[in-house]
Chain A
């Protein structure tokens, strides 16, 4: 095969194949566009022309037939048949996993829609969390939007039924207000109160909503001998968004609250997914009278898919799989990868490329 023929042959191949060919031969090949990549490959092939050609043939042989019939000097006809099987045996197993064909946009979008209305069914972890709260404190670490609020509401309902006071804290005043409205709808306005720094609405209600700072102050006052709230009837403290314990400025407030929380009250910590919820649970077990149970759940109720939208309006999957390939950040959809590289090349000022 002459160099010119080879160049022609390479030009007929899809870019994905060229990238596969460039793997291990050319550094940072994924940065190059097709023409540049062919140029680099040709230059490279000078070193070991025979090996290069046979690898190319194998790759072409593996591909499903092209939709467009190949040119007269079709590569398939020239395939050096005897060498093929051995090479396949060598190359295939190592590369197979990441080279399943990437999904198409339509299959990525498939399944979009509104589920048929069905009666609300609790998840097993929600049941578990509520049940375990009878035995001791509970730490819940689940992805955003999995239904933590349901656990809070149900736990509060049970505590109120036992004539216990429930305190619900959130890190932000705005969230407190949202929850106040939400809980008032669920429990009735007379059952829910809210405490802020300067105002107290329905402070005698069995379910009190406040920011964590306010609760910390109440606990301090109780510790100083000035009982301000019915801490003796306190049955349940719900700390929402408790991953705030790692907040550089305010995190200490969560720790203080937990340390000084009366022993007879149960603690329910609701948190987004964090890396070490077992540490929190272990810590609670070590300082609280009752053992702490960890409820952890990592799959989302509504599955998530990731996409890539190019500034020109073209939408495509971000990963080569439909769902998110956990643990494989590099399994990008080839098209998304190519367009993003192109985008970076166009927008990054020269000399700033990584």
Chain B
């Protein structure tokens, strides 16, 4: 079976059940284009009357937008009554498709889900082929809201009695996501309050620093943070109630008092190690009972093969090779004398703990040893080591041991301290929720002060006054470039090219024209600056190939749109969007005409060159 239904079969099935017109949401632009190609040789033609209707509508649209007159999809659209509509197309083409849909001329439109919000036309049927969409380089499951937004295009008011949302599987589809999406309640939405540099500058332009906090407090972000804080506060109230029986006792803050007392007490008890009944001389000796050491055990002599502590009691033990060849395990306390003689002994990890050869060797040596051996002088520490003064003193400071409420404190302490810890944790989070926006804002102020856009009293400097007019992404990079006079002497094409490489945030690969050497070195400078700013602002992609596209379009006024499209593998719609965004950035530079007349002039010349052909068609 094919992994998904063939587009021609799909259209046939829909026509058969009178489910047209339909919007078919596909996973990618490529899928949309391939679906259109599938109709190239198919014979599922429209009746001539409908073909004429399509032609008539298209004709009207072409009058307004001549750029689509030669569109390669037009024959298929007319013959079959299907069209593709995605971000790779020019806006004028999308308008044409929308117009056709509105007139009810088409049977199906193949569209991508990425722009579901931008698809502003309904149909009788919506076909869903996927359960996840690409969001910033990753595929994520559709949310309930998104599924409903997509399915919601089905059913035209006044034209349909019912709308149909039809799922048809493609590989990796997860039906659960979709059925949940159909039947569920849309998710709550959350504020995404990004504090940007232009926002800080513009707010400080209009309001003194001490009025900022109340303004931030008016945001939906703060509203939602407050909601969370209120939940915590309610919990806090509950905790306070639970804490009631644990109020002041003999001392007001008995929990802390008991906590310290308990800690000190524990420390004291910790000082007594597990082997506390071990006589000090044994401990002292044990260090010297290393493999090869000649020792006296009882009345006989032996060589230590290994030492260890017993598993249960942790009492010191040795394994010794005795005179006569026996290997015994005995407590270290049975060692009567420790000689200063150490015999050579090759260790082994298993019984008999040394190599068989060295057992022979050791035995021989043992026999050869003289009757008396000098004893190893071992320093034995004094028996009862006193507890350090500091602890004795602190213990003496506590009233707890003799306090009348001691037993109650001891009993309640674990519960009460847990409650109090929770209380403190909530208090901290509430504090953080109430002030986080302001702290983030202050962080941005600090950076702007560091770069000299704000005075130490948070007023706008001369640079700040114009920098606040740059209200786009990567504003810090752009204003820093202007201050570094990076654009001095740059021609309109170069300026626009740099702006487009800053504006472009898509990493779709492709083949592109080469950059001129002047632009190349300028981009190198920009890249260096962007990198140095990266602690304060995410650097843009700064693709040279993208810059080259813009440079061509602006640098060569005789270049036609078709010519530009042929020089790259970028989709028409992407080029359009790139240039439109560049236009937006350039017009922001144009607003600096009061302070940077040269730059503003270059920008306006770039705008004039940019706005031609296809880019002039739309308002």
A: which residues have CB within 8 A of B? 109, 111-115, 117, 120, 143-147, 171-175, 177-178, 180, 194, 196-199, 201, 213, 216-217, 220, 223-225, 241, 243, 245-249, 251-252, 255-256, 258-259, 272-276, 279-280, 282-283, 286-287, 300-313, 315, 318-319, 324-332, 340, 343-344, 346-348
Contacts and interface: CB of A to CB of B under 8 A. Distances in A.
A245 B168 CA distance: 32
A258 B220 contact: yes
A198 B607 contact: yes
A329 B183 contact: yes
A142 B118 CA distance: 17
A343 B1 contact: yes
Contact of A311 (B2, B164, B195, B215): B2
Contact of A273 (B145, B169, B191): B145
A304 B163 contact: yes
A272 B148 contact: yes
Contact of B156 (A145, A196, A312): A145
B619 A194 contact: yes
24 contacts: A112-B162, A112-B164, A114-B160, A144-B148, A173-B580, A198-B587, A198-B607, A213-B471, A220-B471, A245-B189, A259-B215, A280-B220, A286-B223, A287-B218, A287-B223, A300-B152, A301-B157, A304-B162, A307-B164, A308-B167, A309-B168, A315-B166, A319-B183, A347-B169
Contacts of B587: 197-198
B429 to A, nearest CB: 20
Contacts of A305: 162-165
B399 interface: no
A267 B584 CA distance: 27
A223 B10 contact: no
B292 to A, nearest CB: 58
Contact of B183 (A115, A248, A327): A327
A197 B579 CA distance: 13
Interface of B: 1-5, 9-10, 12-13, 17-19, 91, 94-95, 98, 117-118, 120, 122, 124, 127, 145, 148-149, 151-169, 171, 175-176, 179-180, 182-196, 199, 202, 205-207, 215, 218-221, 223-224, 227, 468, 471, 580, 583-584, 586-588, 590, 607, 618-619
B190 A246 contact: yes
Given A114-B160, A258-B220, A259-B215, 17 more contacts: A112-B18, A112-B160, A197-B583, A197-B587, A220-B468, A243-B145, A247-B192, A252-B194, A274-B186, A274-B189, A275-B187, A301-B155, A306-B167, A311-B169, A329-B180, A332-B179, A347-B3
Contacts, number: 257
A245 B191 contact: yes
Contacts of B162: 111-112, 302-305
A197 B223 contact: no
Nearest to A196: B619
Nearest to B196: A252
Contact of A324 (B17, B183, B188, B215): B183
Contact of A304 (B95, B164, B202, B586): B164
Nearest to A251: B192
A329 B179 contact: yes
Nearest to B125: A307
A300 B586 CA distance: 44
B153 to A, nearest CB: 6
Q: What 8 A-B pairs are tightest by C-beta distance, nearest first?
A: A144-B152, A302-B155, A246-B189, A223-B206, A275-B188, A276-B188, A198-B587, A251-B192
A82 B518 CA distance: 97
A243 B146 CA distance: 11
Contact of A113 (B127, B161, B166, B471): B161
A330 B221 CA distance: 36
B168 A304 contact: no
Given A113-B161, A224-B205, A309-B5, A303 B155 contact: yes
Given A241-B117, A311-B1, A304 B154 contact: yes
A255 B118 contact: no
B545 to A, nearest CB: 24
Contacts of A252: 192-196, 199
Contacts of B145: 243, 272-275
A147 B152 CA distance: 12
Contacts of A326: 183-185
B155 A279 contact: no
Contacts of A307: 164-167
A147 B157 contact: yes
Contacts of A308: 166-168
Contacts of B199: 252, 256
B145 to A, nearest CB: 6
Nearest to A272: B149
Given A217-B471, A305-B164, A310-B168, A246 B157 contact: no
B189 A304 contact: no
Contact of A172 (B117, B152, B179, B184): B117
A101 to B, nearest CB: 20
- Identify the interface centre among A172, A330, A347: most chain B CB within 10 Å of its CB: A347
B152 A251 contact: no
Given A177-B91, A217-B471, A252-B192, A223 B205 contact: yes
Contacts of A282: 223
A305 B12 CA distance: 20
Contacts of A197: 583-584, 587-588
A306 B189 contact: no
Contact of B179 (A243, A315, A330): A330
A137 B157 CA distance: 27
B206 A225 contact: yes
B221 A255 contact: yes
A276 B189 contact: yes
Nearest to A198: B587
A250 to B, nearest CB: 8
A324 B91 CA distance: 35
B120 A178 contact: yes
B169 A343 contact: yes
A329 B205 CA distance: 52
Nearest to A223: B206
A106 to B, nearest CB: 10
A332 to B, nearest CB: 7
A148 B215 CA distance: 31
Nearest to A332: B179
- Identify the interface centre among B153, B157, B195: most chain A CB within 10 Å of its CB: B157
A309 B13 contact: yes
A315 to B, nearest CB: 6
Given A173-B580, A304-B165, A346 B220 contact: no
B440 to A, nearest CB: 12
Contacts of B159: 114-115
A224 B4 contact: no
Given A304-B162, A332-B179, A144 B218 contact: no
B425 to A, nearest CB: 25
A111 B118 CA distance: 29
Nearest to A280: B220
A240 to B, nearest CB: 10
Given A112-B18, A112-B161, A252-B194, A245 B220 contact: yes
Contacts of B18: 112-113
B158 A306 contact: no
Contact of B168 (A146, A275, A302, A311): A311
